[in-house]
Structures are given as C-alpha cells and as structure tokens.
Amino acid sequence: MTEFAPEILLRLGPLPVTNTLVNTIFVDGVIFAGVWYLQKHIQTIPGVFQNIVEIVTETFYDLTESVAGKNTAKIFPYFMSFFLFILIANWSGLIPGFSSVGFFVGSGSERHLVPFLRSATSDLNLTLGLSLISLVATHALSINTIGLKEYLSRYFSLNPINLFVGLLEIISEITKVISLSFRLFGNILAGEVVLATIASLFAFLFPIPFMLLEVIVGLVQSLIFAMLTMVFMSILMTPHHGGHEAEEVIAK
C-alpha cells in the first residue's frame, strides 16, 4: 500500500533523500536529455521527434496567445515548463516495475516494500513547491509588466469597498496555492493507491484499464495546473482597470 508521505532511502547529513526526490531528478534528466537531443538533431526537414515537439509547442503557444495576447511571450515558458514537468512526473509512475523495485524494511506483519522511485507529484512537498513557484512567478511578472503602483492598487485603496475587495483578493491568492497543490497531489496519490490495490488483487490484464485511466488523469492534471497558472498570470498582468476585459477574453 502506498504510504501518504514519501519514503526516505538514505540521508546525506541532515538532508533526507526520498524516493520522490530521486524521481524528481529522473524527470529533470528526461527533460534535459530531450532538449539536448533536439538541439543536436534539429533539422530543416524535421524527423518524428522534432515533428511531435513542434506540433505540441505550436498548439500550446496558440492556446496561450488566445488567452494572454501580448503577454504570451512572457507566460508561455512557464506554461510549457509546468506542463512538461508535471506530465512526465505523473506518467513516470506508470512505468512497469517503477514502484515495485526497492528494498524491504520491518519484520513480520510490519514488513513492507520501500520503492526506489515514486511519482514526484504524489508528494505534497513537491506540489506545494510548484504552487509557490507559480504564485511567486505570477506576481513577479505582474509587477514587471504593469508596474508596482498599478500592482498595489489591485489590493490596496483608500476606498473602503475597494480595500475590502483587495483583502479578498489577497485571501484568494493564498487559496490558489492550497487548491493547486492539493488538487494535483490528491489525484496522483489516489491513482497510485488504486493501482497498488488492484495490482495486489489481480496481477494480469485487469489493472490495464486502470492504468489507461491514470494516463488520462496524468495528462488532465498537468494541463489543469499549467492552464490555471497561465490564466492567473494573464489576469494579474492586465492593468486593474482592464481586468474585466481580460476576464471576458478568458471566458471566451
């Protein structure tokens, strides 16, 4: 059964090395390897891998442009980075043998397997970290784009009503971090628990439909996180007096 917290494999001084941290390094390695391969083999007439990358990139760029408009060039790198990292992290947990290779700890009825690798997004520490990065990047881009004075006017005003609305905005920014992190963490952890339970009952064939379902869930959750970040960035990078116009564009 999948543990709620990530399992510690070893300690490097005060730093615990968990199986989700190892998976994070693995995901980073896959991304860097893909970028390196593409850079070394980029051609005027693209091959299969380059074709796939170009199609996906163009599709998501057009999607970002339809929401962010003139701010697309600033927002797209964050959108694509979040999507790729979370997607690979989600799908890496579905690799055969991924969570079944490790070592046993304990004895008797307490004996259980500690896998060397575990999906990084099933660790609340990582999803919370991603949410905080999303929040900090969003507000940094907002200040850089519309200026500090316009940025602060969204939250602070001499008008009591606008000040109250601004306080609600501040609270909503905090809830965004909670919702982003717990949504991703909960869905991926629940999927791992389901797969572990099904695999312990039925070794062959029966788990396949559940694995296919988790492929879809992994894709959807990565899209949700990346697209929400994109929308939040687009809204905050629009001057406060033009906020309603931005929300109308996003609604379309």
Q: What's the whole-model pTM score?
A: 0.85
How high is the pLDDT of residue 107? 67
The mean pLDDT value for 195-214 works out to: 76
* Phi and psi torsions of 111, nearest 5°: -75, 130
Over residues 14-41, mean pLDDT:
90
| Average pLDDT score, the chain | 84
Q: Is residue 69 part of a domain?
A: yes
Averaged pLDDT, 11-33:
89
Determine what percent of the chain is predicted with pLDDT higher than 90. Answer: 40
Kindly state whether residue 8 falls inside one of the protein's structural domains: no
Does residue 37 fall inside a structural domain? yes
What average pLDDT does this structure show over 9-19? 85
State the pLDDT confidence band at 206, using cuts at 50, 70 and 90: confident
For residue 39 the two structure tokens come to 């850079």
Choice between 9 and 25, residue whose per-residue pLDDT is larger: 25
How many domains is the chain built from? 1
Task: Evaluate whether residue 13 is within a structural domain.
Answer: no
Round to whole Å and give the CA distance between 107 and 197: 21
Burial 87-101 (b: 16+ CB within 10 A, else e): bbbbbbbbeeebbee
> Is 122 a residue whose pLDDT tops 70?
yes
pLDDT at 245: 46
What are the pLDDT digits (tens) for 125-157? 999 999 999 999 999 999 999 899 888 888 888
Q: Is residue 6 part of a domain?
A: no
Q: Which residue range(s) make up the domain with 53?
A: 20-251
Q: What is the pLDDT of residues 33-64, one digit of tens each?
A: 999 998 888 888 878 888 988 999 999 999 99
What span, in angstroms and rounded, lies between the C-alpha atoms of 187 and 197? 15
The pLDDT assigned to 140 comes to: 95
Average confidence (pLDDT) over 183-207: 79
The DSSP-derived string for 61-84 is HHHHHHHHGGGHHHHHHHHHHHHH
pLDDT at site 250? 46
Task: Kindly report which listed range (37-46, 121-130, 180-189, 228-237) carries the lowest average pLDDT score.
Answer: 37-46
Average of pLDDT values for 1-26? 82
Please state the rounded mean pLDDT for residues 102-129: 78
Out of 56-65, 93-102, 176-185, which region has the weakest mean confidence (pLDDT)? 93-102
pLDDT of residue 5 exceeding 50: yes
